[in-house]
Amino acid sequence: MDKESLKVIPLGGLGEIGKNITAIEYKDEIIVIDGGISFPDEDMYGVDLVIPDIRYLLENKNKIKGMFLTHGHEDHIGAIPYILKQINMPVYGTRLTLGLVENKLKEHNILRESKLKPVRTGQTIKLENLKIEFIGVTHSIADSCALAIYTPMGIILHTGDFKIDYTPIDGRMTNLNRMAALGKKGVLLLMADSTNVERQGHSISEKSIGETLKRIFSGAQGRIIVATFASNIHRMQQIADASIAYNRKIAFSGRSMENISEVAMNLGYLHVPDEYIIDIKDVNKYPSEEVTIITTGSQGEPMAGLSRIAYGSHRLISIQPGDLFIISASPIPGNDKLVSRVINQLFRKGVDVIYEDLEEIHVSGHAYQEELKLIHSLVKPKYFMPVHGEYRHLKHHRDLAIKLGMKPESVFTLETGQVLEISEDGVNTSKTVHTGVLFVDGIGVGDVGNIVLRDRRDLAKDGMVTIVVAINKENYSIVAGPDVITRGFIYAREAEDIINKVKEISKEEIERCLEKEILEWQVLKNSVRKSVEHFLYHKTKRNPSVFPIIMEV
């Protein structure tokens, strides 16, 4: 029989950014913390989303008691519809977080059968052996929580994503008192956000952005168009406050901006007097100096609001002289060029743009080194496991904990799939469970895999050359073709000689095979493919995908 043990099973989010999901297992109870997506790498052509492979949860379905959400960002809730379709567990979270989940479940048509359980910050959910307490923390989305998980073997404290902001917009600070109290009680395991562990010092308060915004607003003559993250309701509030201060009406543009602002206002997280909200359709009815537009597209996404305005393809908003654009966000790594493209385009159109390189108009929602040190020092855990970050971040968070006095053997730098098992014998990290990713492309989930992606990459690199030939199945002679079509390889008008040569080579190769009575089409296709590939590489130093097709007639 197994000894009593407590397992922490990261199914995503360790050694990677995004796709956060962790299972905590004790006896016959499993709880799931978060269910996030990650965004595809640039070489995952055509993939819309990446979601975690939850085979482990499916195999232990009967143990699962529910999902507990730390906050409403995509990398923590984006995969929930896909997960609930397979395991309809109760989902616990604060009201705003569940409000955002609700929107997703509606889109997937599974809201009705879902079991969303709103909790208040400070509330504790009791299961059979486990108890889960929601502890308020500050982050770049309102209503974020850390989770204290009480187990018969001790307390696990999972910080979620957090920062320490002594002047938070909603007055709801990271609950340091509660963390200190837990520290006093004794915390078995701390799992803490590693995102900003490489940044020295202390993050800046969100409130400082409000001051910058008011300064900028005070000098603006025309419309102000601010692009920011739709989920950053505190930022939205500050933009609204600055607008009201300078007598501007506020319009929201972009689907997620409209959705989230509505949810946030309905639930009381975003406070804007009704008379200041206008519909984006009515923007032109107001004098320019009385309008603020809050839009999506702060990452330069070509289909989002900001880019559409910049390139003149927005349904309702076109650039006016005197418009002032503010990009109140940092480019996420990989998006710098997209953001720069939009900035250039706006300057070309003759309007002004303010962005992070010029003014302090964005702050991070993740704790810097000094904030992390504070949490470690308050909580004084027995064991520590850095979470949320690439390996470099986990490694540096480990180093930080050790510098603060933890023994190296009490700190566990694990990656997705590695199990942290605590028993009375101590900690064992040698077990692994199956984990992985599923690609979402269009409607399909998991029907695009590595082979399909490899083919897409090959096709992208040098295009394709298809060779078709019809062969008489009675006497094995060529009756039509070879015909050649190419796409993405070379300009047809430049390629005439090359294509003729491909036809010639294919013909020779087929005839050679037929003479030798090689009637295995697979063998024949391979020899055609190889000869053509060889010729094309020699001639062009390119490797298009070559597809010979044989028709028997």
Can you say which residues are annotated as belonging to the binding site for substrate? 230-232, 362-366
171 contacts a second copy (rule: CB under 8 A): no
| Smallest separation, CB 498 to a second copy (Å) | 10
H/E element, 514:
helix 492-515
Binding-site sequence positions for Zn(2+) = 71, 73, 75-76, 139, 161, 388
| Smallest separation, CB 325 to a second copy (Å) | 12
161 contacts a second copy (rule: CB under 8 A): no
Among 246, 476, 535, 547, binds a second copy (CB under 8 A): 547
312 contacts a second copy (rule: CB under 8 A): no
Inter-residue contact 415 to 12 (CB < 8 Å): no
| Smallest separation, CB 551 to a second copy (Å) | 5
Among 144, 151, 307, 545, binds a second copy (CB under 8 A): 545
53 contacts a second copy (rule: CB under 8 A): no
Radius of gyration of the chain measured on its C-alpha atoms: 29
What part of residues 413-452 is at the interface with a second copy (CB under 8 A)? 441-444, 447-449, 451-452
Draw the binding track, 342-381, toward a second copy (x: CB under 8 A; -: no contact): -xxx-xx----x---xx-----------------------
| Phi, then psi, of 281 in degrees rounded to 5 | -65, -25
Strands 21-26 and 154-158: unpaired
Cβ closest to a second copy, residue 94 vs residue 196: 196
Q: What's the rounded Cα separation, in Å, for the pair 161 and 372?
A: 11
Which residues participate in catalysis according to the annotation? 193, 366
Q: What's the rounded Cα separation, in Å, for the pair 91 and 72?
A: 12
Q: What's the rounded Cα separation, in Å, for the pair 509 and 493?
A: 25
15 contacts a second copy (rule: CB under 8 A): yes
What is the C-alpha end-to-end distance of the chain, expressed in Å?
A: 67
Binding-site sequence positions for Ca(2+) = 46, 48, 441
Binding-site sequence positions = 46, 48, 71, 73, 75-76, 139, 161, 230-232, 362-366, 388, 441
Q: Which two tokens stand for residue 493?
A: 């008008």
Q: What's the rounded Cα separation, in Å, for the pair 496 and 493?
A: 6
Cβ closest to a second copy, residue 82 vs residue 134: 82
Q: Which stretch binds a second copy (CB under 8 A): 3-11, 321-329, 478-486, 526-534?
A: 478-486
| HSE-CB of 200 using CA atoms within 13 angstroms | 0
| Phi, then psi, of 456 in degrees rounded to 5 | -65, -40
What part of residues 16-45 is at the interface with a second copy (CB under 8 A)? 41-42, 45
Among 303, 480, 519, 523, binds a second copy (CB under 8 A): 480
| Smallest separation, CB 221 to a second copy (Å) | 17
Q: DSSP character for 72?
A: -
H/E element, 369:
helix 369-379
Q: Which two tokens stand for residue 481?
A: 């073709």
553 contacts a second copy (rule: CB under 8 A): yes
Q: Which two tokens stand for residue 421?
A: 């098992």
337 contacts a second copy (rule: CB under 8 A): yes
What part of residues 455-474 is at the interface with a second copy (CB under 8 A)? 455-464, 466, 468, 470
Cβ closest to a second copy, residue 88 vs residue 466: 466
Report the side by side order of strands in the sheet with 189-193: 124-126, 131-136, 145-151, 154-158, 189-193, 383-387
Cβ closest to a second copy, residue 184 vs residue 255: 255
| Smallest separation, CB 350 to a second copy (Å) | 10
Beta bridge partners of 38: 50
The 10 Å Cβ neighbour count of residue 12 is: 28
H/E element, 260:
helix 255-266
The 10 Å Cβ neighbour count of residue 275 is: 8
Q: What's the rounded Cα separation, in Å, for the pair 117 and 410?
A: 35
Cβ closest to a second copy, residue 133 vs residue 371: 371
Residues that bind a second copy (CB under 8 A): 15, 41-42, 45-46, 198-199, 333-334, 336-337, 340, 343-345, 347-348, 353, 357-358, 390-392, 395, 441-444, 447-449, 451-453, 455-464, 466, 468, 470, 479-481, 483, 485, 487-491, 494-495, 539-542, 545, 547, 549, 551-553
